[in-house]
Structure 1
């Protein structure tokens, strides 16, 4: 059954690559600018909006030219957002008063007009730009607004067998899923966010065999872990937030129900409030500080980013 599903998915991926218009199911292709848009309705600060787009493999969209301006306005209208303000990638965070898009394009060269009374740089703290009704306004970057991510179509966008354009995901026959090792350590919640943005999830161990698989991935990447982060453990998808002492996977099962609960000797020890799950290099489990940075592994099903 796994092989049958795998071959079926390969056929889908081949069709998408031939069409040349596939990025991920939650992005909408726009032929006018030869790229994909995604509206994030949940408001965020400018930095969090930038980060979410970046983690999804895109950028915070900006009306850098006439084509992008028209396409963004049409897209926001289609999403019934034409009367709402939303973040663009334009900001003056590097140099107050010098506005550039995240691609480095100067605001002075963009085909946009300021809204009446703008820019006002209220309290001398408005370094980010929102777009609304075809005009722009400066706002405090800590305010929250919806935002649009954009991915430009390029020749190097190739859908892999893992159902993603991210070439770092590798298919493992043991589980039929794909895995990616993140060498730059992050706190558990940020690791969770990173995997979710990539269309995957913080790796869940469902058997001793999968624990060994993660160990092998860990070993193969250990020397590549960036300085400044723990090399002794990796973050994985379990926690005991809801009821301390009852460890569950991010899918809601207890780790016993999930199929793997092999703790390292003396663990879990709940040292100073260790409520997030980790794994040692010997594949044994550890309770770890949620705020501490550690490398992590994302796990992805083949169809998680495909249109169903």
Structure 2
């Protein structure tokens, strides 16, 4: 019954909004028992790890034959000389390589015998695109492509089109929102929202501003807890403000706080939304809470038929054992 309600609510949201449903980034692989996404834009190992984490996945390692095959297939379009980062490292203890899920190197599909020295004292493992079973020690700082993986479990997509239940749908605006109370710079907040399948909140009008005002914690705790980063930025010395989606400042909520914007220090080109219900400009290094906004029709993960999910969870013992590790 709940699955029927979930389907109907998502269908209604799709029809009610004049938005085309985006193709999911994560495609389901039945043999691998989960979703995979290839990131072709290179990143350092730590950046790759965090990108996967914020997307609700992990930096992939060949923890099974099926997953190893799925990774090889996914990366095959890359240049044959390329390598990708794996989620396997010895950053916790030199020489003790484990995957980010805690699987030791000896239990990975390629095994210890397949490691090749690629970088002296390299702490992160990479895999060749050429389909070799070998893994290579590499510098964690040299940017490389990577693959994120999310294994199938009993969770289902919520009405916001995500597994993240901190996203809450607001019927007044039609969008979903998530409050991040851990303060970040504007740039970092932008990246986190993008990784979660959303964007920094854009206050389209006074009604949406009132909705977001209600998201502030009950009691203010210092400067950074009195404001949210929002999706507004100033460009060039003329300080032309636009939203991160390119809308003109005049066409969205544009009420500034008293004596703002003042461009203090000549470098305040980002915007925040203060508790009092107005905007204030800040610099790129200023840290604050932030709100991510997401369309319920924007799906990161490909939908999985119920029968496939039930078969994987109930009738593949080996796969279930892997998920219990």
User: TM-score surpassing 0.5?
Assistant: yes
Contact 1:229/1:295 (<8 A) preserved: no
Say which of 192, 195, 198 aligns to 1:194.
192
Q: TM-score, normalised by structure 1?
A: 0.84
Tell me which residue corresponds to 1:130: 126
Contact 1:267/1:287 (<8 A) preserved: yes
Contact 1:229/1:293 (<8 A) preserved: no
CA deviations on 1:227-274 (whole Å, 9 max, x unpaired) are 89811211000011344432211111222122x111110111111221
Provide the rounded CA distance (Å) in 1 between the counterparts of 2:222 and 2:127: 39
Mapped pair 1:59 → 2:55: no
Measured after TM superposition, the shift of residue 59 of structure 1 is: 0.4
Mapped pair 1:91 → 2:85: no
Provide the rounded CA distance (Å) in 2 between the counterparts of 1:67 and 1:42: 25
Shift of the 165–62 alpha-carbon distance from structure 1 to 2, 3 Å rule, reads: same
Say which of 106, 117, 120 aligns to 1:119.
117
Aligned length: 285
CA deviations on 1:148-179 (whole Å, 9 max, x unpaired) are 00000000x21111111111111111111111
Contact 1:13/1:160 (<8 A) preserved: no
Query: Residue 43 of structure 1: SS of its match in structure 2?
Result: strand
Query: Residue 178 of structure 2: SS of its match in structure 1?
Result: strand
Contact 1:13/1:159 (<8 A) preserved: no
Provide the rounded CA distance (Å) in 2 between the counterparts of 1:187 and 1:222: 22
Say which of 287, 291, 309 aligns to 1:293.
287
Return 5+ residue gaps in structure 2 as ranges.
Answer: 1-5, 15-22, 304-325
Shift of the 108–116 alpha-carbon distance from structure 1 to 2, 3 Å rule, reads: closer
CA deviations on 1:107-134 (whole Å, 9 max, x unpaired) are 1222316798922541x3x100001122
Provide the rounded CA distance (Å) in 2 between the counterparts of 1:121 and 1:49: 19
Provide the rounded CA distance (Å) in 1 between the counterparts of 2:285 and 2:178: 22
Q: How does 1:153-172 map to 2 (within 5 A)?
A: 153-155=152-154, 157-172=155-170
Provide the rounded CA distance (Å) in 1 between the counterparts of 2:24 and 2:259: 44
Return 5+ residue gaps in structure 1 as ranges.
Answer: 1-5, 15-23
Q: TM-score, normalised by structure 2?
A: 0.80
Provide the rounded CA distance (Å) in 2 between the counterparts of 1:158 and 1:119: 42
Contact 2:105/2:111 (<8 A) preserved: no
Provide the rounded CA distance (Å) in 2 between the counterparts of 1:217 and 1:231: 11
Contact 1:36/1:152 (<8 A) preserved: yes
